[in-house]
Amino acid sequence: MCGLAGYIPSKESSFEEMKLNGSKMIDAIYSRGPDDKGVWVEDHQSLMMSFRRLSILDLSSEGHQPMESASSRYKICFNGEIYNHLELRKSFKGNWRGHSDTETILEVIEQIGVEKALTNFVGMFAIAVWDSEKSELTLARDRIGEKPLYYGWVDKDFVFASELKAIKQFPNFNNCISKAALGNFLKLNYIPAPQSIYEDIFKLEPGSYLKVQLESGGLKCNDPIKYWDLSEVINKGYKNPILDHHEAVYETKKVLSESVKSQMISDVPLGAFLSGGIDSSLITSLMQENSPEKIKTFTIGFENSAFDESKFAKNVANHLGTNHSEYFVTSQETLNVIPYIPEIYDEPFADSSQIPTHLVCKQAKEHVTVALSGDGGDEVFGGYNRYFWSNRVWSKLKWIPYPARKTIGSVILNTPKTFIYNLENFYNYITPKTYSVHQFADKLKKLGSRLQYVYSEDDLYSSLVTQWNDPSIILKDHDESLNDIELPSHEDLKNHAPSRMMFWDSLTYLPDDILCKVDRAAMSVSLETRAPFLDYRLVELAWRLHHTFKMNDKEGKIILRKILDQYIPKTLIERPKAGFGIPVGDWLRGPLKDWAEDLLNEEKINQQGLFNYEPIHKVWAEHLSSSYDHTHKIWSILMFQAWFEAQ
């Protein structure tokens, strides 16, 4: 795992100036690659590319970047891992100098060109390739969006980098905050691609590449082009479905096992995150099956038993015989991470599981340099509660006129918490453990607040993934038309809402929240993470499976459960799905209260000129009084405020 940065100047610059700029930009993301550094300026000073390396494959100097192709035509900066690079070396013969996957990428590009080469790569990557023959820069990102890549303009100069903090080191950076991105952030708690928090700076979307050509009249930047499109994957999957249950289980296990095996290739110590849930337990099981030695597994525990899953992870580790490490963090250790969040996530990001994610990455880094995770299992195989709850809820709501639904929502919101907690205890008492609901009261309250926005089942999904439903309430001078991120339609999915939700989550929530969270948390401590569930061949296979192999109206990831049964007893796994969380809502009323009130200070907010103070104050007062749990809404404002102050 590494970091890259570069730029194309709009006016003549000296070699020394460009090299100095490149050094400043790449040093801003030192933690992405502490092992090596390279800065390269094109002979005519038309391009600068710089790189920081975290050595994983080929630890020798032969893996140094920016790397030049054998013919000297291409120069590359590559962040990520190509898991099939050894197979590619057999297919594309070359005069190899080392054994890095970067050299393999260059040789494939040399033989068949950048566009065709991208379709041959199995892995995660962000790539910048300079073609000296065409005077053309190509930026490309992996199919699912595991590795980040930003690009855009600072004044008239074209810039690109793995993280915004590198771009902000570019001379005279003064790009304004994007109101459109801020509006979407308030809705989602993350900023969806292609937007970034700054105007004129964008995220390259997953499965895309962008060409920038230097011409006599200046610079020409084309629109990004898709080389892999999830919509097309779904089209093909529905035309060639797997309908036999035994075939589905066999093929899924085969492809997932191959993915795990390929992602275990490393020249440095490797391990796995283990929460004791279905996804991480299955990845760990397959890793141990493919390893002659005990694999290293890592988990963290918390003082608050409601958020502590370490005992489940330990039981799984003992059953599989892994070399397990668990680290119990105190509330104070968790709180100590918060001041560093703006530095780790260099644009506003408000998924509070960012904190424990950082802590488990920090723990793992003490023992390994690479860690495999179960990320993607929920989106690919239907694991989120909303997928199978939405059908049940909507089947009852759709018969109720909208005004009545709105009234029901109001009744739920005004029901005393004690009554809801008693209802939760009664529900879980009479319900089999498999179907019990984690944080029942909070989810019921959330449903109540959402009912006033729900006209259809798709609206139900949107409301469930939205925090501030109407950002114009708190955002000054907000133009709703600027929020151009819309849920795409798909003809094949029109009759199955949970599949539509999986499609939308895979396009937005997965790359822009989950994968962003893990990448920044891991890279802040120089740890590489890999996600076997996100091998694009497994994703394509999953969309060939009938949805009944993934979920029913009671549970998800059915096919993964079937495979996991071959390794681990159900009694060690079956329990209500819980997020990787911490009690942020309680902390905001306790040890974080002073910190929060300072950031939510009326004078401070009015000085910034971005937010209306009154609605924020109202939500904050309701949260402090415990009449409502506004954790997610408050956390989004606090994360923006903390980021804004850090700038």
Catalytic residue IDs: 2
Alpha-carbon distance of 53 to 58, in angstroms, equals 11
The separation between CA 545 and the C-alpha centre of its own chain, rounded to angstroms, equals: 24
At what angle are helices 385-397 and 457-464 packed, to 10 degrees? 130
Pairing of strands 270-273, 296-302: parallel
Question: Which of 646, 607, 639, 643 is CA-nearest to residue 467?
Answer: 639
Alpha-carbon distance of 127 to 106, in angstroms, equals 11
- 394: part of which helix (H) or strand (E)? helix 385-397
The DSSP annotation for 401-460 comes to -HHHHHHHHHHHHHS-HHHHHHHHHHHHHHS-GGG--TTHHHHHHHHHHHGGG-SSHHHH
> Cα separations (Å) of 256 from 250, 285, 293, 485, 505?
10, 11, 20, 32, 21
128 SS3 class: strand
> Cα separations (Å) of 531 from 206, 233, 261, 373?
15, 20, 12, 5
One-letter amino acid at 413 equals L
Q: Dmax of the chain from CA atoms?
A: 75
Q: Is 526 left (phi over 0), alpha (psi -120 to 50) or beta?
A: left
Question: Which of 384, 380, 318, 373 is CA-nearest to residue 532?
Answer: 373
> Cα separations (Å) of 515 from 262, 355, 375, 510, 523?
20, 14, 8, 6, 12
Answer for the pair 359, 300: CB distance below 8 angstroms, yes or no: yes
Show the tokens assigned to 86: 């050894």
Show the tokens assigned to 298: 């890592």
Alpha-carbon distance of 351 to 375, in angstroms, equals 15
Three-state SS string over 525-562 comes to CCCEEECHHHCHHHHHHHCCECHHHCCCCCCCCHHHHH
One-letter amino acid at 148 equals P
The set of residues, in sequence order, having a beta carbon less than 8 Å from that of 618 and lying 6+ positions away, is none
Question: Which of 414, 356, 388 is CA-nearest to residue 587?
Answer: 356
Backbone angles phi, psi at 31, to 5 degrees: -65, -20
Question: Which of 177, 219, 222 is CA-nearest to residue 200?
Answer: 177
The separation between CA 7 and the C-alpha centre of its own chain, rounded to angstroms, equals: 26
Show the tokens assigned to 10: 């709009």
